[in-house]
């Protein structure tokens, strides 16, 4: 059931339009890159369009940190909001569901139906603090299981931004025979010290909440909402830009509040609002697990370094970045384009919105994705 203090999916909730697939490996389960183990894994996913006879029209769409499988479609049972890329996925849209069979899974470690810290372990209790360390590669390994389940031998395209872009890179590096073309948005080849620092502060904010209970809060009747809200505020600050904040908020007070009498500035209210909004729908443990997976992102780990890992990529890879992104700056995309043989020039998304531009600038992003899918692999 779902705790009154959280809106994330738990067993027994109305699944809405989600599908679920559970994978078990007899006698071995899933051994993770960090040495942990899961006996079985459930993946929540959504699809649009129809798979053609030879399975050649499948497109994998991969969500970012707090996204989920609901990439397109209206709000409704099981979905509190319109799909996060609804303007890009659908009939006659950039990812045309009259042409493509589109799949969007909820990531391993998430909290919208896929196995994560809030899922029940074999003893019937939520994993909580017992949930193992996972990496981007572990997430992709589970997505490979899903592709097999759906009888998709090779994706026509894999598209993702931010954490989804990390997974798209891992697909083309780790499973090149299963990918024809890839679109990587607003990310780099490996996590930077700056990104790790920001994630670590967010994790500390959650763990400092007295209701965190070491990660085992599911059966306490409370959850670390305050810590999660602060963490999201830190994240939201890094996703946007100085220019946008100055233009939208400046030094304005929030409504009729007086800042010299314990009132708030409008920017403070904005960050608080986004924090509270996330705390209503997301699990704090998932936020930690996924943030740390992003910190571990490094396509060169165990492959001789980033240069060695990327130099053998022969697929068409379109790399795109946001002009004002201060979290994943353009230099990171330029590095990818330089090291991947068929990447070409970086496609620049012009936006004052910072990192979130890959979610906001639908016309520009849609044009980039549509052109990428239309190119000869």
What's the average model confidence in pLDDT over 149-158? 98
How far apart, in whole angstroms, are the C-alpha atoms of residue 15 and residue 249?
38
Q: Is the pTM of this model over 0.85?
A: yes
For residue 247, the Cα-to-chain-centroid distance in whole angstroms is 28
Domains plus CATH for the chain? 19-191+299-374 (3.40.50.1820), 196-293 (1.10.1740.110)
Q: How confident is the model at residue 290 (pLDDT cuts 50, 70, 90)?
A: very high
Helices (H) and strands (E) in the chain, counts: 11, 12
Handedness of CA 294, 299, 305, 307 (dihedral sign): negative
Active site residue 355: yes
Q: Is the pLDDT of residue 112 over 50?
A: yes
Can you give the pLDDT at residue 9? 52
Q: Which of the 8 DSSP states describes residue 176?
A: G
Can you give the pLDDT at residue 293? 98
Can you give the pLDDT at residue 32? 97
Question: In this predicted model, what pLDDT tens digit does every residue of 261-286 receive, in sequence order?
Answer: 889 999 999 999 999 999 999 999 99
Q: How confident is the model at residue 99 (pLDDT cuts 50, 70, 90)?
A: very high
Exposed / middle / buried, residue 188 (Cβ in 10 Å: 0-12, 13-18, 19+): buried
How far apart, in whole angstroms, are the C-alpha atoms of residue 223 and residue 34?
27
Can you give the pLDDT at residue 80? 81
Question: Rounded to 5 degrees, what angle do the CA atoms 19, 295, 157 make?
Answer: 45
How far apart, in whole angstroms, are the C-alpha atoms of residue 238 and residue 115?
28
Specify whether the CB–CB gap between 115 and 209 falls below 8 A: no
How far apart, in whole angstroms, are the C-alpha atoms of residue 167 and residue 138?
10
How far apart, in whole angstroms, are the C-alpha atoms of residue 213 and residue 268?
27
Active site residue 291: no
Q: Is the pLDDT of residue 6 over 50?
A: no
**348 has which bridge partners?**
321
Say whether 101 sits in a helix, a strand or coil.
strand
Q: Which one of 96, 298, 355, 356 is the catalytic residue? A: 355
Q: What are phi and psi of 223, to 5 degrees?
A: -145, 160
Active site residue 79: no
Q: Where are the beta strands (DSSP E) in the chain?
A: 19-24, 30-31, 37-38, 40-48, 58-62, 89-90, 95-96, 101-105, 157-161, 181-185, 316-322, 347-349
> 42-74 b/e with 16+ CB inside 10 Å = b?
bbbbbbbbebeeebebbbbbbbbbbbbbbbbbe
**Pseudo-torsion of CA 310, 311, 314, 317, nearest 10°?**
40
Question: Rounded to 5 degrees, what angle do the CA atoms 35, 184, 236 make?
Answer: 80
What's the average model confidence in pLDDT over 157-174? 98
Q: Is the pLDDT of residue 376 over 90?
A: no
How many angstroms separate the Cα of 55 from the Cα of each of 86, 99, 154, 334?
24, 12, 8, 33
Can you give the pLDDT at residue 16? 47
Q: Is the pLDDT of residue 7 over 80?
A: no
Q: Which one of 69, 114, 156, 162 is the catalytic residue? A: 162
């Amino acid at each position: 059931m779902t705790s009154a203090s959280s809106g994330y999916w738990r067993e027994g909730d109305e699944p809405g339009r989600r599908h679920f697939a559970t994978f078990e490996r007899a006698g071995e389960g899933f051994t993770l890159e960090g040495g942990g183990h899961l006996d079985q894994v459930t993946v929540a996913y959504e699809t649009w369009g129809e798979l053609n006879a030879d399975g050649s029209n499948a497109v994998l769409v991969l969500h970012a940190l707090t996204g989920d499988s609901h990439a397109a479609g209206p709000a409704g049972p099981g979905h509190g909001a319109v799909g996060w890329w609804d303007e890009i996925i659908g009939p006659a849209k950039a990812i045309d569901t009259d042409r493509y069979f589109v799949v969007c899974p909820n990531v391993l470690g998430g909290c919208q139906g896929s196995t994560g810290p809030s899922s029940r372990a074999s003893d019937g209790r939520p994993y909580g603090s017992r949930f193992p360390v996972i990496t981007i590669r572990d997430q992709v390994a589970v997505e490979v299981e899903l592709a097999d389940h759906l009888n998709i031998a090779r994706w026509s395209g894999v598209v993702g931004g931010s954490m989804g872009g990390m997974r798209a890179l891992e697909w083309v590096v780790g499973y090149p025979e299963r990918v024809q073309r890839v679109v990587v948005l607003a990310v780099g080849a490996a996590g930077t010290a700056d990104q790790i620092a920001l994630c670590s502060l967010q994790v500390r904010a959650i763990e400092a909440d007295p209701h965190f209970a070491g990660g085992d809060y599911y059966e306490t009747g409370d959850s670390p909402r305050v810590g999660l809200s602060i963490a999201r505020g830190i994240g939201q600050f890094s996703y946007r830009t100085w220019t946008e904040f100055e233009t939208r908020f400046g030094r304005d007070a929030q409504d009729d509040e007086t800042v010299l009498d314990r009132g708030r500035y409008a920017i403070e209210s904005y960050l608080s609002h986004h924090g509270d909004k996330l705390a209503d729908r997301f699990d704090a443990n998932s936020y930690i697990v996924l943030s740390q997976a992003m910190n571990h992102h490094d396509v060169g780990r165990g492959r001789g370094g980033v240069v060695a890992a990327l130099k053998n990529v022969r697929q068409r890879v379109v790399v795109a970045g946001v002009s004002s992104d201060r979290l994943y700056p353009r230099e990171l995309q330029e590095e990818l384009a330089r090291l991947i043989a068929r990447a070409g020039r970086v496609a620049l998304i012009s936006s004052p919105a910072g990192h979130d531009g890959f979610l906001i600038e639908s016309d520009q992003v849609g044009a980039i994705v549509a052109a990428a899918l239309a190119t000869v692999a």
